[in-house]
């Protein structure tokens, strides 16, 4: 009895526990898609663009902790997932991408829809395979899932020539274990270094825990909470670490960095012991590297499963290579309880002096108000997904993150268009949860076609568009540093003077284009529009009543800015803490 390559792939995916695959078809994968369709376990979800499939797999993985899987065809189908793979790679998200390829005999001959996707994606995947023999399929898929989900997680690509999927073999067995000589991630931290870290924390007067996405992916949230409470250590997180420590806790400093809380940045600037867990000291966190955390440069503990990350940007005094959760478990055994009352008092003073704020008395609809009201309305019980831009930072600031894997955002690459398809992936992975995509009017247009996917698959994703008629984050920089010259950032019709003489407009165009309510309705979703504060809660009430996808178009203050802000290349001392700081600077 023979078995085809496509059937081998289906069996392997089933054995790896895969249930959903985000896909877009093509001739190179037609045999594989047909075999998957006959599986009782696997479900194919057709997206409207391959990039959408990639981000959906990403959102699925971030929200569930399980690897996301996508399937696309050769040539442009494969090249269209490059952005999604780079997004996942930068943020260490486990994805297995299956790409179709022309037949092995045609590879290298510029065949129709041929692209060297292994070569193209080499810089933005954890590993990649080009399978040329049917006999290698089982081992390759087993290795791919192992590599994607162990060590520092990341995307793995498997390129599948058409003749490999179509071919047949007489015998097949799926390997039970994986043995890769060159790949041996270290999960247990060195006991001597852990003991050294324990003594450093005990002897410190002003410690700070700084947690990133690696702490989330390792599932270290309970251990981090236990350590923070035992030793009275304030905790700050990166954008990708939001939720790994509850922001309702008195020891929470919320997010740090360019648009982080002022008190988090001041705490890191003054601390004498910094414990970094699953974080890579990104430039959006450190600001001017030479001035970052000046009082603890001889007392930095860096915990990470990826040894290449440690001391890459900031030298670690006590480097610990290992899984964050495993290391924290051992650290809790080695450390003695300690308190830091004076340090906590100093931080509380900063919290009172530098709260996250905006003009709450304004009559106009502020974007921060929408997010605050969403949190109150849902009581924090939602998975929040963001696109990239000002709305992303407002969401990070004014949504109170209390649980891991419930705030999803493109961090390292800053990918506009990420939010909607990632929210679809999160909804697939969490069918009983409320999933809300917070988007900007610019970023939503990059993958707006995926609304049809949500509607046709009965995925009740809610999309909140903070519509300010601008590409807001770039516009903010233009306002602050480029003399308010808004080049390429207005999303509304520009003045007649910029148009050729023979194309003068004869009638007024509406300021807000496109009409997102009509767009939603065109995709069989519910469309709502809100222009006043009094209508925000009624819109949320209607949103949760609808069992379909909902798009709410919030017309918010056009030139609202994100503060605090540390200008690029500047130090924490040059932080613009609030709108008042900014206006004083202008004066």
Residues 403 and 346 in one domain: no
Give the pLDDT confidence of 293-345 residue by residue, as tens digits: 999 999 999 999 999 999 999 999 999 999 999 999 999 999 999 999 999 99
Residues 154 and 16 in one domain: yes
Round the average pLDDT of the chain to a whole number and report it: 95
Give the pLDDT confidence of 75-84 residue by residue, as tens digits: 999 999 999 9
Reported as a pLDDT band with limits 50, 70 and 90, residue 369 is: very high
Residue 207 makes CB contacts below 8 A (sequence gap 6+) with 201, 231, 233, 234, 271, 272, 273, 274, 275, 340, 343
Domain containing 234 — which CATH number?
A: 3.40.50.1220
Q: What is the CA radius of gyration of the chain?
A: 25
Query: Is residue 180, in this structure, part of any structural domain at all?
Result: no
Domain containing 569 — which CATH number?
A: 3.40.50.970
Residues 317 and 459 in one domain: no
Residues 371 and 321 in one domain: no
Q: Are strands 462-467 and 168-169 parallel, antiparallel or unpaired?
A: unpaired
Query: Is residue 32, in this structure, part of any structural domain at all?
Result: yes
In 3D space, the residue among 359, 368, 360, 370 whose CA is nearest the CA of residue 532 turns out to be 370
Residue 293 makes CB contacts below 8 A (sequence gap 6+) with 268, 269, 271, 274, 300, 314
Give the per-residue pLDDT at 74.
98
Residues 473 and 519 in one domain: yes
| End residue of a domain, out of 285, 320, 353 | 353
Q: Which residue has the higher pLDDT, 427 or 495?
A: 427
CB 382 within 8 A of CB 399: no
Per-residue pLDDT, averaged over 448-462, amounts to: 98
How many other β-carbons are positioned within 10 Å of the β-carbon of residue 272? 17
Query: Is residue 329, in this structure, part of any structural domain at all?
Result: yes
Angle of helix 191-203 relative to helix 324-334, nearest 10 degrees, comes to: 60
Residue 568 makes CB contacts below 8 A (sequence gap 6+) with 258
Give the per-residue pLDDT at 373.
98
Give the pLDDT confidence of 426-450 residue by residue, as tens digits: 999 999 999 999 999 999 999 999 9
Q: Phi and psi for 96 in degrees, rounded to 5?
A: -115, 115
Query: Is residue 53, in this structure, part of any structural domain at all?
Result: yes
**Euclidean distance between CA atoms 257 and 234, whole angstroms:** 16
Reported as a pLDDT band with limits 50, 70 and 90, residue 504 is: low
**Euclidean distance between CA atoms 442 and 465, whole angstroms:** 9
Residues 238 and 378 in one domain: no
Give the per-residue pLDDT at 322.
98
Query: Is residue 511, in this structure, part of any structural domain at all?
Result: yes
Residues 420 and 505 in one domain: yes
pLDDT for 493 beyond 90: no
Outline where 335-482 has alpha helix (H).
341-353, 367-378, 390-398, 419-429, 451-456, 472-481
Query: Is residue 131, in this structure, part of any structural domain at all?
Result: yes
- SS3 for 351? helix
SS (H, E, C) 270-285: HCCEEEEECCCCCHHH
In 3D space, the residue among 331, 353, 346 whose CA is nearest the CA of residue 228 turns out to be 331
Residue 259 makes CB contacts below 8 A (sequence gap 6+) with 393, 396, 397, 562, 563, 564, 565
pLDDT for 560 beyond 60: yes
| End residue of a domain, out of 353, 386, 407 | 353
Residues 413 and 532 in one domain: yes
| End residue of a domain, out of 291, 322, 353 | 353
Reported as a pLDDT band with limits 50, 70 and 90, residue 501 is: low
Give the per-residue pLDDT at 341.
97
Give the per-residue pLDDT at 506.
55
pLDDT for 557 beyond 50: yes
Sheet holding 273-277, edge to edge: 252-255, 235-237, 207-211, 273-277, 300-304, 318-321
Residues 433 and 461 in one domain: yes
pLDDT for 134 beyond 70: yes
**Euclidean distance between CA atoms 559 and 364, whole angstroms:** 12
Give the per-residue pLDDT at 582.
76
Residues 89 and 8 in one domain: yes
Give the per-residue pLDDT at 344.
98
Query: Is residue 230, in this structure, part of any structural domain at all?
Result: yes
- SS3 for 158? strand
Residues 230 and 340 in one domain: yes
Q: Phi and psi for 197 in degrees, rounded to 5?
A: -65, -40
**Euclidean distance between CA atoms 54 and 567, whole angstroms:** 32
Considering the chain, what percentage of its residues have pLDDT values greater than 70? 96
What total number of domains does the chain contain?
Answer: 3
User: In Å, how far from its chain's centre is CA 260?
Assistant: 16
Residues 244 and 133 in one domain: no
CB 66 within 8 A of CB 429: yes
Query: Is residue 178, in this structure, part of any structural domain at all?
Result: no
Q: What angle do CA 165, 131, 70 make, to 5 degrees?
A: 70
Give the per-residue pLDDT at 503.
57
Reported as a pLDDT band with limits 50, 70 and 90, residue 92 is: very high
Give the per-residue pLDDT at 584.
74
Reported as a pLDDT band with limits 50, 70 and 90, residue 573 is: confident
Give the pLDDT confidence of 185-218 residue by residue, as tens digits: 999 999 999 999 999 999 999 999 999 999 999 9
**Euclidean distance between CA atoms 27 and 101, whole angstroms:** 9
Q: How far is CA 457 from CA 109, 111, 195, 526, in A?
A: 40, 35, 52, 15
Reported as a pLDDT band with limits 50, 70 and 90, residue 497 is: very low
Per-residue pLDDT, averaged over 24-49, amounts to: 98
Outline where 74-130 has alpha helix (H).
76-79, 82-91, 117-121
Exposed e or buried b per residue across 381-397, where buried means at least 16 C-beta atoms within 10 angstroms of its C-beta: ebbbbbbbbbbbbbbbb
Containing structural domain, residue 407: 367-574
């Amino acid at each position: 009895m023979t078995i085809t390559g496509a059937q081998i792939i289906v069996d392997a995916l089933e054995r790896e526990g895969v249930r959903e695959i985000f896909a877009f078809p093509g001739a190179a994968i037609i045999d594989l898609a047909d075999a998957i369709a006959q599986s009782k376990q696997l479900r194919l979800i057709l997206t409207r663009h391959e990039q959408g499939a990639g981000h959906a797999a990403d959102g699925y993985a971030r929200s569930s902790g399980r690897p996301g899987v996508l399937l696309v065809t050769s040539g442009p189908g494969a090249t269209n997932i490059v952005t999604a793979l780079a997004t996942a790679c930068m943020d260490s998200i486990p994805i297995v991408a299956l790409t179709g390829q022309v037949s092995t005999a045609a590879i290298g001959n510029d065949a129709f829809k041929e692209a060297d996707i292994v070569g193209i994606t080499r810089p933005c995947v954890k590993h990649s395979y080009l399978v040329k023999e049917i006999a290698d399929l089982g081992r390759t898929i087993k290795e791919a899932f192992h590599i994607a989900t162990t060590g520092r997680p990341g995307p793995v690509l498997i390129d599948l020539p058409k003749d490999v999927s179509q071919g047949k073999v007489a015998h097949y067995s799926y390997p039970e274990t994986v043995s890769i000589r060159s790949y041996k991630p270290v999960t247990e931290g060195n006991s001597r270094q852990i003991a050294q870290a324990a003594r450093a924390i005990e002897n410190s007067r002003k410690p700070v825990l700084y947690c990133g996405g690696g702490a989330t992916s390792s599932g270290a949230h309970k251990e981090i909470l236990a350590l923070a409470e035992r030793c009275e250590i304030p905790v700050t997180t990166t954008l990708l670490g939001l939720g790994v420590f509850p922001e309702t806790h008195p020891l929470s400093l919320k997010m740090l960095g360019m648009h982080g809380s002022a008190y988090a940045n001041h705490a890191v600037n003054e601390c004498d012991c910094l414990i970094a867990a699953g974080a890579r000291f990104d430039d959006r966190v450190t600001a001017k590297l030479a001035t970052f955390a000046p009082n603890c440069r001889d007392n930095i503990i860096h915990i990470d499963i990826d040894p290449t990350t440690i001391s890459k940007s900031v030298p670690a005094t006590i480097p610990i290579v290992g899984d964050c959760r495993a290391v924290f478990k051992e650290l809790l055994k080695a450390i003695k309880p300690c308190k830091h009352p004076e340090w906590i008092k100093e931080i509380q003073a900063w919290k009172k002096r530098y709260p996250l704020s905006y003009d709450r008395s304004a009559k106009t609809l502020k974007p921060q108000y929408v997010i605050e009201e969403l949190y109150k309305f849902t009581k924090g019980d939602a998975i929040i997904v963001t696109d990239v831009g000002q709305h992303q930072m407002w969401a990070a600031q004014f949504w109170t993150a209390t649980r891991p894997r419930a705030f999803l955002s493109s961090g390292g690459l800053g990918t506009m268009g990420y939010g909607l398809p990632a929210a679809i992936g999160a909804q697939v992975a969490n069918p009983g949860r409320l999933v809300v995509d917070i988007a900007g009017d610019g970023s939503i247009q990059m993958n707006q076609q995926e609304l049809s996917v949500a509607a046709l698959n009965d995925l009740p994703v809610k999309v909140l568009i903070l519509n300010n008629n601008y590409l807001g984050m770039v516009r903010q920089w233009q306002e602050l540093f480029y003399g308010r010259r808004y080049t390429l950032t207005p999303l509304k019709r520009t003045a007649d003077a910029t148009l050729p003489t023979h194309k003068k407009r004869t009638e007024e165009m509406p300021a807000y284009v496109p009409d997102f309510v009509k767009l939603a309705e065109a995709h069989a979703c519910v469309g709502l529009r809100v222009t006043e504060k009094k209508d925000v809660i009624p819109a949320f009430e209607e949103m949760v009543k609808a069992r379909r996808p909902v798009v709410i178009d919030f017309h918010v203050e056009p030139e609202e800015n994100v503060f605090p802000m540390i200008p690029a290349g500047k130090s924490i001392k040059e932080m613009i803490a609030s709108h008042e700081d900014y206006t004083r600077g202008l004066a």
